[in-house]
Structures are given as C-alpha cells and as structure tokens.
A and B are shown apart, each in its own frame.
Chain A
C-alpha cells in the first residue's frame, strides 16, 4: 500500500514538474497592454469610438475608461478578441457608435475637386495627395475607409466606395457540414 502511494506520489510530482517546465518554456513574452489592445484595433483611425484614433482608444480601454464595444470597423470579431485578451464578457457593438460595414475606400471625383486641401488635413493616415489648388486624389491602398475626409469637403466630391472582392483576395468559405440533412446516407 505504502509503495503504491509512493509510486503515485512520484508520478504526480513528475507530471507536475513536467507541466511546470512546459509553462515556463512555452510562456509568451508580453507586450504592454496598450500595445496588445492597439494591435487588435483595426487602425482605421476613424474616431467613431469617441477617441481621436485607435491608440487613444486603446489607452482608454487599458485604463478602464472605455468599453470594449465602441469600435465599429473592428466589428464583432474585434470585440471578441478584446474580450478574450482582457478576460471580459463579450458584448454586442454599441449602436451609439455606429454599425459594422464592409470595408470601403474614399474616392474623389477629380473633376469636381477645387483643391482646397481640407481633406488632406482631415485624413488621419496621409492617404490623400495633392497640392493647394490642384486636384486631389486618394491613394486607395493606404486609405483605411475612415470617412473623415467626406464631410470637410466643401464641394461634396468625396464618396465612399466598397472594396470589391477579387480572385486574389477571395477566401474559401468555411465548409458547411450538414449532418442532419442527409440522414439516410
């Protein structure tokens, strides 16, 4: 009996040591919390969360001053990731901050642009090029779709256009398993 107990205890100690070693060995070194939160935010820099950009929002979340469901571009998935990271409950996107939309980019009707540069000043990521009194244009790959340039334009020549899916960016859909449908198989 005693031997048995000893053997069991031995095994327990061994496994414990192994697990302990594994947890040290496989521990991930962490970034500061703000950086981690900022990494989850979509970097659209649109301000819909109520903060002037993603980083300030990340700082507010880290300090506990903001909810995790205020970022419409990040959408549900983003909220889920934040909830995971912070060990909080998932909650749906707060409607007061906006709705989740497919990604868009801004488009300037170059014929109507008067070159006032107001949009360049509004763009948080310098995605609009053009000099004073010259036609302006959006560098589409840089545009995050924040819509901040739309309203400052005095001649309303900026519109948002959805980014189309192409063969290169297309994703296989998640395989759907319909087990119930084919009972007889």
Chain B
C-alpha cells in the first residue's frame, strides 16, 4: 500500500551534515540560572500576561493567556519566582525586544497538577481549546498555533493528515532523534490529531536519508491503522509544508490558503509529540529539542526549557575557537544571531556555530545575468530573478504580480545563484515593506473616512444649531410682539453668531479657569510638555507652526468645499 509520490519542481541538494549531531541521543539541557520567556511565541496575537513580578510559579503554570483565537498560551518552563515582566531582546533578525517573563528557577521543578484528558470522548472543540491553552504551536519553526490548523476548512473535512518528519535542512537532526527515540509518543499524538479532524488517512513523510527514523516509526504504528510512513526523496526543501503536501498528495496549496480548505493539513512530528504530552499527560509545551551543531566539539540534540539562554546550550557543545558567528535555524533559512544571551523559543529548532571554513560567506554580489538557475531551483516555481529586479527597484506592485508572497523564503535561489545575490534578503525586504505599506494605507483610509465623517457631522450640527436658534428667535420675536417678556435674557443678538462651531460662553470660560487653577495645583508634579527644554530656534519654529495650526483651525470651521 505504498502511496504514489508526486514531485515538486526545483529544489537543491546541499551537503546534509546530519551525521555530526544525529549520533548522540537526546540529552536534557540543565535548568539555567535565569529563564527569559517571551510572551509572544507564536504567530498571531501576543498572549496576555498572567503573572506579576515577585510571584511564585510552578512548572507548567500559565504565565500568558491566549488573546483571542489566533494566539496560544505560554507557560512557566520550571518552578521558581517571576523576577520581572519587561521587554527583552528576542532571537529575531530584527534584534528588537518584546515583553518577556524573567523567571529565577528554584531548582525543584515542581509541576502544577497535570490532568490528562480522555480525548476519545472529548469533542474536537474541547481538544482544540485544550491545545491552545497548552501552548501547542508548530515546532517546525513557523510556530503557527496548532488549534487553528485543526479547524475544518471549506472542504468540510480534513481527509488527509500529513505529518512532517522530512527535516530537509542541512545540519538539523532534532526531529530525526525525536522519531528514533520517541516514535510511540509521536504516533499517539498523531492519533489525537487524527481524531480531532477525523482524517481518513495519515501520511508521515520522512526523507529517505533517515532510515532509522522510518524504522522506529513503522515499529510504533504497528497497531494503529491507516498511518503510513512514506520515505520521500531527499531534496531540500522537501520538508517545506507545501512541498511535502505536494509530494505526498499531489495537492498544491497557494499562498494565503489553509491546507484544510483543500482537505489536507500538515503537522510537524515534534508538534505531534507535544500534542500527545499535552492531552495524555497534561503537560503544556515548556521545552523543545534543539540541535546544536556546526563548528563545535560535541554536537548534539538537547531537550531545552523554553527561555534557556543560548549561551547555556553552547556551553554544552564547546564551540571551536574559529567560530565567528552563530546561526539560529538551519543554514538555508536561518539568520545570524546578533548576540548569544538570547532565549531559546518554541521556534528554535537549531543553533549552529559557524566558522568561515564551514559556512563561507557568499562571495561578492554581482549583477544578475538572467541565467535562470534560480528559476530552475525555485520550489515555488517563481521567477526569482524577476522578483529580485522588482524588489530591488522597489517596484512592489510588479513584485506582487509576480507572486512574491508565494515565495517560501527557502533560499534555494540564492544557493544556486552564480552571481552570489542574496536574493531572499531582497524578498524579505520587499515583503515586509509591502506589509507596512498596506498597514499605512489601511490607517490612512480609516483616517480619511473618519475625517470626512467628522466634517459632515460638524456641518450638520452647525446647521441644526442655527435652525434651532432661528426658531427660538422667531418665537421670541412673536412673544415680544405679543407683549410678553422674552423667555431668556442671554439671547444671542443674531443667529449668524451661532453659525460657527460651539462658542465658549462666559460661564463655561469661568468653569474652565476654575478647573485650571484646580489642576495647576495638582500639576506641579506632572512631567513637562514634550516641547520644553528645546533650543530657542526650535521653540520659535514650534510657535510658528502652532500659529499656523491655529489659523488652520479657523479655516476648518468653514465647511470644506464639495469635492471636485
């Protein structure tokens, strides 16, 4: 019952370098002195913090609650005391920081109460919520919250479940070791996933350079029916989610769509394993297996608590002297770490020590000669050189027309480019710029609408007020004519005076003055306005601008012209 395999276009075959780290069994990394757990560790919304500095936490206690459905919870990786809730630098190419929970472990590793769930009788909704609250996200590196991927799509039912054990990037072996050592847990996790979506068949794709992993999985599934382990040809990026789905099922999922819309969904083997831990044992995702390899003396795989500093992992493998930088992720898709005191996150599948000999920096970038090597290597069947051209000239519209968002940033094109062009950097630049532009545009459109709405409203209000006043005046005149006293003394002399926006009458001015004196007393301690402490020229400039603004406010009181 061997499934027919399909082929994806392109791809490359870099040296795999798997043997370095795949020999030693998974070892547990020691609990470090400090854990820095970023709150946001998945795609989607950042979780809401649940802890205060000084608070004691148990291992597995939630420290961040999922914010809405597109989010996943975060848990204390060990027991200890929360020292701080503050921004810390993240292991992210931007080098920016975000809210992190800093925990001082007490060394006792005391778990909170772990409650297994009888998944066979639980509803899919309950299981999905459970996965969200257990912080289960894709461990292949994308950290997409798993519960979202388990929602049935437009196709009604997820017929085929693809489990990704391909692990195609060179050097990385954490999934390989996991499959060899914990195949049973993976298969139990698969059973749960399969139950949630009631999938008909399960295909586990493993690159054919991992025969032991295939054997271990096959042994573990002996009892389960309908799970098939399929060795797939070793070719990067066979482990890309879309590529693997294509290879195993022939279905191609375009950018921006969920596999579930096509009746197929894909999970990493590590994710399957953590699903098993979360449901059958009640353990949230507080650790992951990290390959630490490259230019080191003792490469290996380590079960690492989330939040462990990368330094602490490196200490276990003894980087060699000529190491000049560290890479997080694989050599194809990873990025160079600016520092090594950053925490391991759920996305961190691999830390590589790089030396100029092992990871030579690409040569000098030359102009593109349109040789087409990149086109032949691109697994997304794009035209990388065209995208490069458009991204480079910031012609984003064209780049989008040529499907830049379908680029999976696999790096195959840059790998083969004879001109050494860092193609992917250009695509990332273009993609992030386009997203920023889109955000700006959405904000500008919203502002335009609100501005126009406000103009309309103030126009209408002014008109209504004028009408009211006119009516009142008319009534008063009539009353005078009828020999009666006017109702109110403080009657505006002419209706035009009320045409403008709300005028401040004397009474109101007095009120404000009183409020100001009251506030002034409080205000002594209030921080200075942002324009104090400036050079005199600057202040003069500011005054000028303010004057112009005042003038504009006057202008704004006249209703704007009709649009041309």
Question: A and B bound?
Answer: yes
Chain A residues near B (Cβ < 8 Å): 32, 34, 38, 41-48, 50-56, 59, 62-63, 98, 109, 111-112, 114-116, 121-122, 124-127, 141-142, 144, 147-148, 150-151, 154-157, 159-161, 165-167, 169-175, 177, 179, 182, 185
Chain A CB within 8 A of B123 CB: no
Is there contact, CB below 8 Å, between B516 and A47? Answer: no
Interchain CB contact under 8 A, A172 and B93: yes
Most buried by A among B445, B450, B558: B450
Q: Tell me whether B450 and A47 are in contact (CB under 8 A).
A: no
A167 touching B92 by the CB < 8 A rule?
yes
Q: Choose, from B29-37, B186-194, B431-439, the stretch at the interface.
A: B431-439
CA distance A52 to B561 in the complex (A): 11
| B3 is an interface residue with CB less than 8 A from chain A | no
Chain B residue at smallest Cβ distance from A155: B519
Instruction: For the A-B complex with A51-B555, A151-B550 known, give 9 more contacts whose Cβ atoms are closer than 8 Å.
Output: A43-B445, A46-B549, A50-B552, A54-B451, A56-B560, A114-B516, A147-B549, A170-B432, A179-B366
Q: Which residues of A contact B431 (CB under 8 A)?
A: 172
A112 contacts B96, C-beta separation under 8 Å: no
Are A42 and B444 in touch, CB under 8 angstroms? yes
- Contact (Cβ within 8 A) B428 A112: no
Can you name 21 A-B pairs with beta carbons within 8 Å?
A34-B563, A43-B445, A46-B549, A47-B555, A47-B556, A52-B560, A59-B561, A63-B564, A98-B545, A112-B526, A116-B512, A116-B515, A121-B501, A142-B446, A148-B549, A155-B523, A167-B92, A170-B96, A170-B432, A172-B433, A182-B364
Contact A43 B530 (CB under 8 A): no
CB contacts (< 8 Å) of A53 on chain B: these are 451, 455, 556, 560
Does B512 lie within 8 Å of A47, measured CB to CB? no
The answer to whether B94 has its CB under 8 Å from any CB of chain A is yes
A114 touches B519 (CB 8 A): yes
Would A171 and B529 be within 8 Å (CB), given that A53-B560, A114-B519, A125-B450 are in contact? no
Do the beta carbons of B563 and A45 come within 8 Å of each other? no
| Residue in B closest to A153 when the chains form the complex, CB atoms | B529
Closest residue on chain A to residue B545 by CB atoms: A98
Most buried by B among A32, A48, A53, A115: A53
Q: How far is the CA of A62 from the CA of B40 in the complex (A)?
A: 47
The answer, yes or no, to whether B109 is at the interface (CB within 8 Å) is no
Tell me whether A50 and B548 are in contact in the complex, defined as CB-CB below 8 angstroms, given that A112-B519, A157-B526 are known contacts.
yes
A118 to chain B minimum Cβ distance, whole angstroms, is 8
Q: Does B122 contact A (CB under 8 A)?
A: no
- Our pick among B429, B515, B552, B553 for the contact of A172 (Cβ within 8 Å) is B429
- CB contact under 8 A between A55 and B452, given known A114-B516, A121-B501, A154-B512: yes
